[in-house]
């Protein structure tokens, strides 16, 4: 029978505090192990944080790898701005942020060109060295590696709206009063800003005039009022499959591929044939760039991980990591491409990928995004 | 089994001399041992509040917390052209409706748990607690599957050769349903406790003296159970005014609630100062309301000390 008295409890606590004091340096491991050889922290879009991708790397290196996924670029970048530059080793965001924002603000640091240039030779032709979004504005520095990409405009149930009609009518589908109450809007507000501009017939990636903003506001109010629901990817796919909606704004391979892989090939990401984007393009495509954070104590594993995900098997795993399925630049390498089954290629709409990318402008930064977002949020509140 | 040797109670003799006086003023050993943890908890509680408060006065769309001071964020919120009041209206309205509906729904259940269900009360209580072990989002997605077109309800009705289920998803009404469903236990259990504190002798005496059921309910049960009912209402209101998931998952964002507006400010808008100002306003509103309600409650009576 244990005999517990106040004295014994206090003695125990004293011993505990002593042990805590002795173990103190462990709580400051970053400084104690200055090189951080066994630690890697990744800030990324979902997929890179999956066990399928990380576990083999953990086994190979014996390292503690932590990855946090977020679903919009500005949040990730502001985490670095707010002081987490000392925490993260890799950041994975959409194409323009590395080149136009993070490098000028010294949030990321360049990669050793000699080590990474050879990987571009094995990527798909449009990613060949020197790939624009992987390089600094002046072209002198390599600032990140490309991997996942895809067209991202809107998604239709082709049983209700044929692919031909959707591609031909394009964004005007959302101007059609007959379709009010039959479409959803994916909760991805940065993309929704782009798409409201496009539905209004305006190029989103430029400085806008007051008249254009007035048109944007009117369009936002109308499009949001007409939406049956706003929700996440799972909600959109569920609503499409159940027949609650026939199409949804903001979406593409990234959002619809899980549903297609689940046996719903009638759901399809659509890139319109034409639109108000430069060159008359009708869609927008994203390309993820993964960069090393300008962490004063960067883990050496950061570069190892960037090389690791270039391997054919790992690239295939990244493409089909849990959550969303996407094409990867490494599919230019036959060894990687051959790992994709027919069903997997169908899920990522490989049959039309090239033509959709050709019809898409590349994701860019809206110069007056804040104002547009405020107008769109106000429009959203008027739904009720 | 462990024996716990408890020290004899301290003599409350008047301190003699400066040393004894100092000793008497010092914290007890227990309090001193608890001090580090208390400090840690205090900092953990205060730090985020101080940060939010600091950000509320920072330059809009900046991270200049504690280095800038402006009332611009509050000015933006009180700008007459700002539609954020709509979100506030929806949150308050839905929270009030949730409380009203739950008061009516939970009362008979609480009454039953105290006086009707007998030995089944414990089991029935478990049924009401059990859903709390499952994530709220999972439960709400379950309701989506139940109500969605060709889902459990619609599909079953069609299978039976009927016209199918009603279209209820993605509306403010289903958002309210979700809130009532989610917050039922938070109203039910304080109310059950309140009703348990009503002395049955008093009810019997009133009945013996010829009081009718409605009279007994109005003049005895309700006033004596009121502290429990009010605590339940307060708890439910505070939780419901901050609810987001119901409006998002079941309601399909057919309305934007105030907590969603705060979330948008911290994520897509990346306007932490504006989101903080909104959070501060909502916190003050709820805090004032809570203090007002608590000032009306007689905790002594509720705890049965009288």
Q: Supply the DSSP string of B202-225, one letter for each residue.
A: HHHHHHHTT--HHHHIIIIIHHHH
CATH 3.40.190.10 is right for the domain spanning A150-284+363-381: yes
Residue A349's Cα: distance from chain center in Å? 18
Chain B residue numbers touching A82 (CB-CB < 8 A) = 63
**Share of residues in chain B with pLDDT > 90 (%):** 75
How many CB atoms are closer than 10 A to CB A367? Answer: 13
Grade residue A95 by pLDDT with cuts at 50, 70 and 90.
very high
Write the CB contacts of A211 (distance below 8 Å, at least 6 apart in sequence). none
- pLDDT of B289: 86
Q: What is the DSSP string of A94-151?
A: EHHIIIIIITTTTSEE-B-HHHHHHHHTTS-GGG-SS-GGGB-TTS--B--EEEEEEE
Q: Are strands A90-94 and A108-109 parallel, antiparallel or unpaired?
A: unpaired
HSE, side-chain direction, 13 A CA sphere, residue A207? 0
Co-location of B111 and B174 in the same domain? yes
pLDDT at A34: 55
Residue A349's closest CA among A149, A128, A127? A149
CB B168 within 8 Å of CB B174? yes
Chain A nearest-CA residue for B5: A5
Interchain CB distance below 8 Å, B269 and A370: yes
Q: Where in chain A is the domain with CATH 3.40.190.10?
A: 35-149+288-351, 150-284+363-381
Same domain, B82 and B33: no
Q: How many domains does chain B have?
A: 2
Q: How many C-alpha atoms does A247 have within 13 Å on its Cβ side?
A: 30
Within this chain, do residues B178 and B112 fall inside the same structural domain, yes or no?
yes
Tokens describing residue A273: 């044939």
Sign of CA dihedral A29, A35, A36, A40: positive
Q: Is A240:A259 a contact under the CB 8 Å cutoff?
A: yes
pLDDT for residue B17 is more than 70: no
CB within 8 Å: A230 and B29: no
| Alpha carbons A297 and A88: distance in angstroms, whole number | 10
B88 and B57 part of one domain: no
Mark whether B70 and B88 lie in a shared domain: no
Q: What pLDDT does residue B1 have?
A: 39
Inter-axis angle of helices B172-196 and B84-111, nearest 10: 40
Q: What would the two tokens of residue B192 be?
A: 């059950």
Residues of A in contact with B248 (CB under 8 A): 187, 231
In B, minimum Cα distance to A191 occurs at B268
Own/partner contacts of A332-339, CB < 8 Å, gap of 24 or more, are A332/A122, A332/A123, A332/A124, A332/A125, A332/A127, A333/A122, A333/A123, A336/A122, A336/A312, A339/A312, A339/A313
In this structure, of A29-38, A304-313, B33-42, B247-256, the range with the lowest mean pLDDT score is A29-38
Cβ-Cβ contacts under 8 Å, A230 against chain B = 252-253
Q: What is the rounded CA–CA span in Å between residue A281 and residue A356?
A: 10
How confident is the model over B33-71, as pLDDT tens digits?
999 999 999 999 999 999 999 999 999 998 888 999 999
pLDDT at B278: 96
Question: Do the chains contact at B256 and A383, CB–CB below 8 Å?
Answer: yes
Q: By the 8 A CB rule, do B183 and B241 touch?
A: no
Asked if the model's pLDDT at residue B15 lies above 80, the reply is no
The DSSP-derived string for B75-141 is HHHH-TT-THHHHHHHHHHHHHHHHHHHHHHHHHHHHIIIIISGGGHHHHHHHHHGGGGS-HHHHHH
Residue of B nearest to A226 (CA): B254
- The pLDDT confidence band at residue A3, using thresholds 50, 70 and 90, is very low
Is there a single domain that holds both residue B86 and residue B220? Answer: yes
- Whether B187 is covered by a domain: the verdict is yes
DSSP-H helix ranges across chain A: 6-22, 29-32, 51-61, 73-81, 95-96, 113-120, 163-169, 189-199, 210-226, 233-242, 253-261, 301-308, 312-319, 334-337, 342-347, 350-358, 369-381
pLDDT band at B145 (very low <50, low <70, confident <90, very high): very high
**pLDDT category of residue A282 using cuts at 50, 70 and 90:** very high
Distance CA B306, CA B299 (A): 10
User: Are B255 and A187 a contacting pair at CB < 8 A?
Assistant: no
For residue A4, pLDDT beyond 80: no
Q: Give the range among A1-5, A55-59, A300-304 with minimum mean pLDDT.
A: A1-5
State how far Cα A293 lies from the chain centre. Answer: 17
Whether the predicted interface score ipTM is above 0.85: no
Closest to B148 (Cβ–Cβ): which among A4, A234, A244?
A244
User: B81-116 burial, b for 16+ CB within 10 Å, e for fewer?
Assistant: eebbebbbbbbbebbeebbebbbeebbebbbbbbee
Range of the domain at B182: 78-302
User: Looking at the domain covering A35-149+288-351, what would its CATH class be?
Assistant: alpha beta
Q: If you write DSSP's letter for every residue of A321-340 in order, what string do you get?
A: -SS----BGGGGSHHHHTTS
In chain B, residues 8-27 whose CB comes closer than 8 Å to chain A: none
Domain assignment present for residue B2? The answer is no
- Residues B228 and B273 occupy one common structural domain: yes
C-alpha of A281 from chain center: 22
Q: Is B121 on the interface with A (CB under 8 A)?
A: no
B110 and B66 within one domain: no
Residue B41 inside a domain? The answer is: yes
Task: State the average pLDDT over residues A37-41.
Answer: 94
**One-letter-per-residue 3-state SS of B2-52:** CEEECCCCCCCCCCCHHHHHHHHHCCCHHHHHHHHHHHHHHHHHHHHHHHH
**Residues B37, B100: one domain?**
no
Proportion of chain B in helix, strand, coil states, percent, rounded to 5: 70, 0, 25
Give the pLDDT mean for B188-201.
94
Domain containing residue B114: CATH number? 1.10.3720.10
Q: How many helices (H) and strands (E) does chain B have?
A: 15, 1
Whether the CB of B131 is below 8 Å from some CB of chain A: the reply is no
pLDDT greater than 80 at residue A283: yes
Q: Are residues B55 and B200 in the same domain?
A: no
> Does the pLDDT of residue B256 top 50, yes or no?
yes
H or E element that contains A86: none
Please give the pLDDT value at position B302: 56
Residue A350 pLDDT greater than 70, yes or no: yes
Is residue B300's pLDDT more than 80? no
Q: Give the pLDDT band of residue A377 (cuts 50, 70, 90).
A: very high
State chain A's mean pLDDT as an integer.
Answer: 92
pLDDT for A16: 44
What's residue B304's pLDDT? 53
Percent of chain A at pLDDT > 90 equals 86
pLDDT, tens digit, 9 for 90 and up, residues A109-139: 999 999 999 999 999 999 999 999 999 999 9
Q: Is residue B14 part of a domain?
A: no
Record: contact A377-B264, CB cut-off 8 A: yes
The pLDDT score that the predictor gives to residue A5 is 47
Contact B268 A72 (CB under 8 A): yes
- Indicate if B84 and B63 belong to the same structural domain: no
Among the partner residues A187, A243, A377, nearest to B149 by beta-carbon distance: A243
CA distances from B251 to A248, A266, A367, B244 (A): 17, 26, 33, 10
Q: Of the given ranges (A24-28, A170-174, B103-107), which has the lowest mean pLDDT? A: A24-28
Map tokens 């994975």 to a residue.
A92
Is B5 part of any domain?
A: no
- Has residue A142 got a pLDDT over 80? yes
Give the residue with greater pLDDT, B152 vs B292.
B152
């Amino acid at each position: 029978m244990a005999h517990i008295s106040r004295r014994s409890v206090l003695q125990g606590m004293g011993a505990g505090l002593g042990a805590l004091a002795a173990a103190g340096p462990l709580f400051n491991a970053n400084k104690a192990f200055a090189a951080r050889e066994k630690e890697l922290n990744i800030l990324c879009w979902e997929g890179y944080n999956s066990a399928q991708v990380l576990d083999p790397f953990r086994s190979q290196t014996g390292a503690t790898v932590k990855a946090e996924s977020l679903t919009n670029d500005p949040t990730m970048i502001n985490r670095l701005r707010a002081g987490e530059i000392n925490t993260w080793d890799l950041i994975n965001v959409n194409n323009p942020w590395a080149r136009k924002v993070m490098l000028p603000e010294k949030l990321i640091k360049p990669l050793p060109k000699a080590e990474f240039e050879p990987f571009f030779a094995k990527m798909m032709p449009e990613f060949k060295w020197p790939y624009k979004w992987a390089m600094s504005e002046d072209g002198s520095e390599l600032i990140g590696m490309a991997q996942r990409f895809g067209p991202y405009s809107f998604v239709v149930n082709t049983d209700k709206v044929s692919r031909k009609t959707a591609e031909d009518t394009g964004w005007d589908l959302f101007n059609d009063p007959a379709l009010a109450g039959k479409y959803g809007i994916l909760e991805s507000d940065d993309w929704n800003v782009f798409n409201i501009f496009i539905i209004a017939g305006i190029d989103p990636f430029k400085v806008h005039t007051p008249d254009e903003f007035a048109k944007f506001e009117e369009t936002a109010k109308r499009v949001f009022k007409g939406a049956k629901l706003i929700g996440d990817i799972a909600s959109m796919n569920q609503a499409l499959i159940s027949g609650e909606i026939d199409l949804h704004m903001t979406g593409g391979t990234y959002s619809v591929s899980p549903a297609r892989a689940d046996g719903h090939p009638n759901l399809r990401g659509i890139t319109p044939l034409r639109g108000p984007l430069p060159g008359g393009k009708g869609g927008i495509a994203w390309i993820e760039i993964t960069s090393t954070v300008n962490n004063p104590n960067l883990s050496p594993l950061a570069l190892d991980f960037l090389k690791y995900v270039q391997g054919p098997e790992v690239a295939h795993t990244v493409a089909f990591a849990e959550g969303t399925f996407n094409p990867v630049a490494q599919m230019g390498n036959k060894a990687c491409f051959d790992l994709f089954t027919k069903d997997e290629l169908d899920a990522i709409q490989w049959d039309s990928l090239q033509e959709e990318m050709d019809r898409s402008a590349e994701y860019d930064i809206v110069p007056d995004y804040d104002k547009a977002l405020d107008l769109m949020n106000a429009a959203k509140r008027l739904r009720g | 089994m462990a024996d716990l040797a408890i020290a004899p109670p301290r003599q409350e003799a008047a301190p003699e001399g400066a040393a004894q006086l100092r000793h008497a003023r010092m914290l007890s050993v227990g309090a001193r041992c608890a001090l580090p943890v208390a400090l840690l908890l205090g900092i953990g509680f205060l730090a985020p509040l101080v940060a939010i408060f600091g950000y509320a006065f920072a330059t809009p769309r900046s991270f200049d917390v504690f280095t800038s001071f402006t009332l611009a964020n509050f000015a933006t919120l009180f700008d007459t052209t700002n539609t954020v009041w709509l979100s506030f209206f929806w949150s308050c309205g839905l929270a009030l409706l949730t409380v009203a509906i739950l008061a009516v729904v939970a009362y008979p259940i609480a009454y039953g748990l105290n006086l009707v269900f007998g030995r089944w009360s414990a089991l029935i209580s478990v049924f009401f607690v059990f859903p709390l072990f499952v994530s709220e989002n999972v439960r709400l997605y379950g309701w989506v599957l139940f109500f969605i077109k060709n889902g459990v309800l619609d599909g079953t009705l069609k299978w039976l050769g009927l016209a199918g289920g009603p279209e209820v998803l993605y509306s403010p009404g289903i958002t309210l349903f979700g809130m009532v469903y989610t917050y039922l236990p938070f109203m039910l259990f304080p109310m059950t406790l309140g009703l348990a504190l009503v002395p049955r002798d008093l009810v019997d005496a009133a009945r013996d003296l010829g009081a009718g059921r409605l009279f007994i309910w109005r003049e005895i049960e309700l006033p004596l159970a009121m502290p429990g009912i009010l605590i339940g209402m307060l708890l439910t209101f505070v939780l419901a005014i901050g609810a987001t998931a119901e409006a998002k998952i079941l309601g399909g964002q057919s309305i934007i609630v105030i907590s969603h507006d705060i979330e948008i400010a911290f994520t897509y808008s990346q306007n932490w100062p504006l989101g903080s100002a909104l959070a501060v306003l909502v916190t003050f509103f709820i805090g004032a309301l809570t203090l007002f309600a608590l000032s009306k409650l007689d905790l002594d009576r509720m705890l049965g000390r009288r």
